[in-house]
Amino acid sequence: MKSRFETKEYEFLEIESRDTEDGKIVSIFLNNPTSRNSMTWKMGEEFADLIHSIKKEKVLPRAVIISGRNDVFCAGGDLNLLRSFSEKSFSQNRRDMRKFYGFFLSVRKLPVPVIAAVNGHAIGAGLSLTFGCDLRIFAEEGKYSFNFVRLGIHPGMGSSFLSPELLGKSLGGRLLLTGETFDGKFAKSCGLALDSVPKKEVYDRAMELALSLSKAAPLALQELKRNLYSWKQLDSALKKEAESQARNFISDDFKETIKSILEKREPKFTGK
């Protein structure tokens, strides 16, 4: 009998299920081929729906892998979505951003190990999604960046909490403040990634890790996940991020960001 989540069709996601002698491993692939797997509102709704469906399974998978189609992991927020934020009010954006974060960071609430198979570039909110997973395998040649401040907005998708949580305030703060780009080898060297391998090997390495995790006692892993993370602290950070981004979205600087993207040039910020 097929699982409930396997019977649904999604516009921006693909799901694969692998049965092993120890249980099932579920793989979720972001799939937005027109814009490098960028995050849309619909993708977020689908993602949250799928995570909820997995949590409701009578027999939980032993592990979940998050990866991307189209030779990339995720380019961050979709341009049309970003443009829509520039046209909304502060209160609308504060509400909508908090909801949008929740769609993707619902992965943090899965009671089983989640592996990010970061098979290519991951930028902004796309990189933040990998931080919300338990373990990460990065492509050596991939490009990764928290580019929020370079777009005229406060970091979002939990990155202001997750980055310092994983890397400490010094390195985590550096990556957020500078928006610098790094590769998979750097991610491994600083402990962000468990491993860094050539792009074509990322998913296989993640599956190897998932198979290893499936040998552990599932109830023990579920209890461990409940004790590892504080959703209350993350939720508090998300509320602050939503409010900060809501202010930024109505600024002249963010309007300049959208204009510069459309004109394919560097933005010129004025602090207004």
- CA separation for the pair 259, 256 (Å, rounded): 5
Indicate the domain borders of the chain. Answer: 13-206+217-263
pLDDT for 198 beyond 50: yes
pLDDT at 231: 82
pLDDT for 161 beyond 70: yes
Q: Indicate the pLDDT class of residue 182, thresholds 50, 70 and 90.
A: very high
pLDDT at 6: 63
Q: Model-level pTM?
A: 0.95
DSSP 164-206: HHHHHHHHHHHHHHH---B-HHHHHHTTS-SEEE-GGGHHHHH
Average the pLDDT over 78-87 and give the result.
93
Question: Helix, strand, coil shares of the chain as percentages rounded to 5?
Answer: 55, 15, 30
State pLDDT tens for residues 202-219.
Answer: 999 999 999 999 999 999
What CATH class has 13-206+217-263? alpha beta
pLDDT for 81 beyond 90: yes
**Residue written as tokens 């459309």?**
262
CA proximity to 30, closest of 65, 66, 68: 68
